[in-house]
Structure 1
Amino acid sequence: MSDVNNQTYDVIVVGAGPVGENVADRTSAAGLSTVIVESELVGGECSYWACEPSKALLRPALLYAEAARLPGVATAVTGPLDVRAVLKHRDHMAADWNDKGQVDWLASAGIDLIRGHGQLDGVKQVTVRTPDGGTVRLQARHAVAVCTGTRAALPPLPGLDMLRPWTSREATSAQEVPGRLAILGAGVVAVEMATAWRALGSEVTLIARDSRLLARVEPFAAELVADRLRAAGVDLRLDSGITAAERAGGPDDSVHLTLKDGSRIVADELLLATGRAPRTDDIGMETVGLTSGDWLATDDSFTVTAVEGEWLYAVGDVNHRALLTHQGKYQARIAGAVIADRAAGRDLDTAPWGRHTGTADLRAVPQVVFTDPEIAAVGLTTEDAARAGRTVDVVDYEIGGVAGAQQHDPDYRGQARVLIDPERQVIVGATFAGAGVAELLHSATIAVTGEIPLDRLWHAVPSFPTISEVWLRLLETYRDQRQPRTEPKS
């Protein structure tokens, strides 16, 4: 690549994860010269330390658990998982932590890449510290997009440096199965990694500060996951916490934990899965009047609201709207279109993407928790509705009553719930918990996002025998709740 030590581009993107790549792709496709800055691997957290490797670890665990419950297959499932094969597949899904493929894609899309640590350096300016100690100064004609994502937020444990704890990165990239794994946390990372490493042979203790797992999902779904974790042999310590921790060092090198109730745990590794923090603590926020380490608040076009001039954008996790890769890519498509339209002088109110700007990451966010059982949810939960003071009708159905579910497991355990706005007669939230429910989620997302009236959903006929037949059962249950049947007269 040519010398870019002092170059001007139409658009500068800081961060080459899936979000930054999508912003750059949209602006480059619109004819804007675009450069992307990355200090680590092109492809970002999702490709190498989150979505891809974690699901590669979880898929064998979930498939094994489901097969072990299916007649005719259960007796053929003998012995433990092939750990070496699972880890090899995980390495493949993480591209062996080599970003050549992503770098080649950037080049094919006409996007320049500068490796190094990028920092804002005033209006429309970014300074990059390169790995060889050099400095690259970039000027944007139109926009700078901050797509730096998040990092693990570590709790204030004494002697944290000496503990050498795992974060989500170590949990998804470890090359050996720890004999004993302690996990602090109750969210998605905690339960998914407990599921995966227990299936691979670890003795897992999960320590949660709350009295339940997965505080942001429907309680019935969290309870199903807790039950299955216990059945798999995970030691759940709910309503607890760590009051003291130390690593022994020496040949043993184990981690010794004291819990809130005074009990002690010894583990080979400690995973801290206690949330995420924005990667904005060293990106020059102060040079444009912002506070280092803060989340970046935006409007629905993903323009940073605290900076004048409509040139600075924050896209993906860093804006704290919806910390999910697919939502960040959705934001990126919008932000890229906004940047292109503004650069061309087009009126945003009449732009092709129009009034739909940024709405799906506020009221219709889909997410799958890849545990046993899976949890798939979109839109409001009952607790969300209560906090917002919204009246909703709650409709529940046991998924095991659907013939398609019984094909998975004659003793299928799972539940579906939809929340219905009684005035508008549209679905505003849906949660499914059970084996194979992840593939139900997009239909629910379309129903919520499209605000499809229930009287039209009746005509979306599910195939038999599939789990999607639960949609028909939910609608029938709601009909019966509103209009109880009467027995025919003899």
Structure 2
Amino acid sequence: MTETDSQVSQTSQVYDVVVLGAGPVGENVADRTRAAGLSTAIVESELVGGECSYWACMPSKALLRPAIARADARKVPGLRHLVQGDLDASAVLAHRDDETSHWKDDGQVAWIEGIGAELYRGHGRLAGPRTVTVTGPGGEVTTLTARHAVAVATGTRAQLPDLPGLAAVRPWTSREATSSPSVPGRLVVVGGGVVATEMATAYRALGSEVTLLVRGKGLLPRMEPFAGELVAEALVEAGVDLRTGTSVTAVARERGTVLVDTDHGDRIEADEILFATGRAPRTDDIGLDTVGLAPGSWLPVDDSLRVEGSDWLYAVGDANHRALLTHQGKYQARIAGAAIAARAQGVPLLETDPWGAHAATADHAAVPQVVFTDPEAAAVGLSLAEAEQTGRQVRSVDVEFSSVAGAGLYADGYRGRARMVVDLDRETLLGVTFVGPGVGELIHSATIAVAGEVPVSRLWHAVPSYPTLSEVWLRLLEAYRG
């Protein structure tokens, strides 16, 4: 040991709860445990506020909003002639920077201080049961001991394919796509899911020539097939070069130009390439091996978000692989915080609690999601194929938004579709999907119907306002009644 090594400070502290990760999920766990009077430490190696605030939800929607607003305006008589020009890319990027607080977390740090939690900056690792070591920016080491619980809220990272020489190409992941200081002239996007379709939408609107390479047969494979079909049609109409059934076989960068070879024998040249090919848990270097778990694994949990086989370790948000969505992670955080507090106080977790405050049941049957493309795609619950796979007797009902008066008022030539999937034995909804401009604001009504198991007969008496897009509910119910 050198003299410098011996001078590295080592301290220790004891808290009721230690949270690994200060993204929106970790913040909400800390908020709930502090509200219950439990002393709480929260550890973060990057920016407080996490992926959603700086590289995902907030910056991506800031990039997409002008694109969607212009697309909607171009379909409105008396307005379309005013919005035929290009977007002001500099202004869009500047607004994106404002929404991310210019990648500074002062405000989020102040919030943590305001709830009375203690923030530790550095890399946190488990070091045995109820123990976390934090290595700070200067190499200082702090050992945190949790009296009651450690909550892992470390989220996920982008997963890149195993292509030779890929690192030398300096590919974009979702982080680079949402934080780029400029708009590339030519962009190749690899993937067919949410990140791929949203970023193809945004950068095409900002002026990039976009090529979208999709290994599968279509877009948005986790939604109803018509969702991907309608989004694909719109992307092609916007000028995106969409190629399905296509895989990347090699990629290189020569004199600043990205060269992309496909399994069809094509070579595509671009300025940047974005891989949106999945997510992996950020659990590879958090000391899982010290508590008998496999580094880099997803962490299976019960409905109180406690890791299976443990009485003190929780995994909340993306790390447990239940639903990789910020709003679901925050929901889980509220449940986990309540469960940790109840157990710390010796209060039984009652299954009969009408609020279900200690059980994350919404992760199973009523997970809502919005894809902010043009058109938007929004869904909650099970698709028809998923419902059929459960063995239930089900029926789906589809209607076109053209049957809704509010759609014609929203935009000329409004194109969209809605589907509801009904459990015929119980006559309740198992899933709902909407595709069309502005449908993201409709999905919560569907979430209430699915989560609340509202009988279809009662939905008939939930009268939608006229003339709004919500009248699609009436059309769906009319079609179901026949």
- Residue in 2 that maps onto 1:274: 277
Q: State which of 463, 468, 471 in structure 2 corresponds to 1:469.
A: 471
- Residue in 1 that maps onto 2:4: none
- Residue in 1 that maps onto 2:331: 330
Q: State which of 77, 96, 115 in structure 2 corresponds to 1:71.
A: 77
> Does 1:223 pair with 2:229?
yes
What is the Cα-based RMSD across aligned positions, in Å? 1.2
State how far apart, in whole Å, the 2-side matches of 1:386 and 1:420 are.
11
Q: State which of 13, 26, 47 in structure 1 corresponds to 2:53.
A: 47
- Residue in 1 that maps onto 2:133: 127
- Residue in 1 that maps onto 2:320: 319
Q: Which amino acid aligns with 2:242?
A: L
State how far apart, in whole Å, the 2-side matches of 1:437 and 1:198 are.
21
- Matching of residues 251-330 of structure 1 within 5 Å: 253-306=256-309, 308=310, 310-330=311-331
Report the secondary structure of 2:77's partner residue: coil
Q: Which amino acid aligns with 1:433?
A: V
Q: CA deviation at 1:389?
A: 2.7
- Residue in 1 that maps onto 2:168: 162
Contact 1:341 1:351 in 2 (8 A): no
Q: CA deviation at 1:4?
A: 9.0
State how far apart, in whole Å, the 1-side matches of 2:352 and 2:173 are.
42
Report the secondary structure of 1:137's partner residue: strand
State how far apart, in whole Å, the 2-side matches of 1:385 and 1:126 are.
42
- Residue in 1 that maps onto 2:382: 380
Contact 1:33 1:111 in 2 (8 A): yes
Q: CA deviation at 1:410?
A: 2.6
Q: CA deviation at 1:78?
A: 2.8
Q: CA deviation at 1:388?
A: 2.5
- Residue in 1 that maps onto 2:44: 38
Summarize the Cα distance change of 1:14–1:473 in structure 2 as closer, same or farther, 3 Å threshold.
Answer: same
Summarize the Cα distance change of 1:325–1:278 in structure 2 as closer, same or farther, 3 Å threshold.
Answer: same
State how far apart, in whole Å, the 2-side matches of 1:237 and 1:56 are.
27
**TM-score, with normalisation over the residues of structure 1?**
0.95
Report the secondary structure of 1:296's partner residue: coil
Deviation by residue 1:250-309 (Cα, 9 ceiling, x = unmatched): xxx111011110011000001010000000000000000000000000010100004x3x
State how far apart, in whole Å, the 2-side matches of 1:458 and 1:477 are.
12
- Residue in 1 that maps onto 2:362: 360
Q: State which of 179, 182, 199 in structure 1 corresponds to 2:205.
A: 199
Contact 2:195 2:276 in 1 (8 A): yes
State how far apart, in whole Å, the 1-side matches of 2:67 and 2:389 are.
36
Q: CA deviation at 1:339?
A: 0.2
Q: Which amino acid aligns with 1:336?
A: G
Gap regions ≥5 residues in structure 1: 481-490
Identity in percent:
63
Q: State which of 427, 430, 450 in structure 2 corresponds to 1:428.
A: 430
> Does 1:5 pair with 2:11?
yes
- Matching of residues 87-126 of structure 1 within 5 Å: 87-126=93-132
State how far apart, in whole Å, the 2-side matches of 1:184 and 1:454 are.
41
- Residue in 2 that maps onto 1:29: 35
State how far apart, in whole Å, the 2-side matches of 1:58 and 1:128 are.
37
Q: Which amino acid aligns with 1:330?
A: Y
Contact 1:316 1:323 in 2 (8 A): yes
Deviation by residue 1:21-49 (Cα, 9 ceiling, x = unmatched): 00000000100000000000000000000
Report the secondary structure of 2:442's partner residue: helix
Contact 1:458 1:475 in 2 (8 A): yes
- Residue in 2 that maps onto 1:486: none
State how far apart, in whole Å, the 2-side matches of 1:381 and 1:389 are.
13
Q: State which of 187, 197, 202 in structure 2 corresponds to 1:181.
A: 187
State how far apart, in whole Å, the 1-side matches of 2:145 and 2:401 are.
56
Deviation by residue 1:129-181 (Cα, 9 ceiling, x = unmatched): 10011101000000000000000011001101111000000000001000000
State how far apart, in whole Å, the 2-side matches of 1:168 and 1:461 are.
41
- Residue in 1 that maps onto 2:5: none
State how far apart, in whole Å, the 2-side matches of 1:86 and 1:284 are.
41
State how far apart, in whole Å, the 2-side matches of 1:354 and 1:256 are.
53
State how far apart, in whole Å, the 2-side matches of 1:438 and 1:6 are.
47
Summarize the Cα distance change of 1:355–1:114 in structure 2 as closer, same or farther, 3 Å threshold.
Answer: closer
Report the secondary structure of 1:407's partner residue: helix
Deviation by residue 1:425-479 (Cα, 9 ceiling, x = unmatched): 1111000000010111000000000000111111111100100011011111100
- Residue in 1 that maps onto 2:3: none
Contact 1:286 1:292 in 2 (8 A): yes
State how far apart, in whole Å, the 1-side matches of 2:291 and 2:445 are.
42
Q: CA deviation at 1:221?
A: 1.1
Aligned residue pairs total 473
**TM-score, with normalisation over the residues of structure 2?**
0.97
Report the secondary structure of 2:341's partner residue: helix
Report the secondary structure of 1:257's partner residue: strand
Q: CA deviation at 1:387?
A: 2.7
Contact 2:59 2:100 in 1 (8 A): yes
Deviation by residue 1:308-351 (Cα, 9 ceiling, x = unmatched): 3x100000000000000000000000000000000000111268
State how far apart, in whole Å, the 2-side matches of 1:332 and 1:300 are.
12
Q: Could you list the runs of 4 or more consecutive aligned residues of structure 1 that deviate by over 2 angstroms after TM superposition?
A: 349-356, 386-391
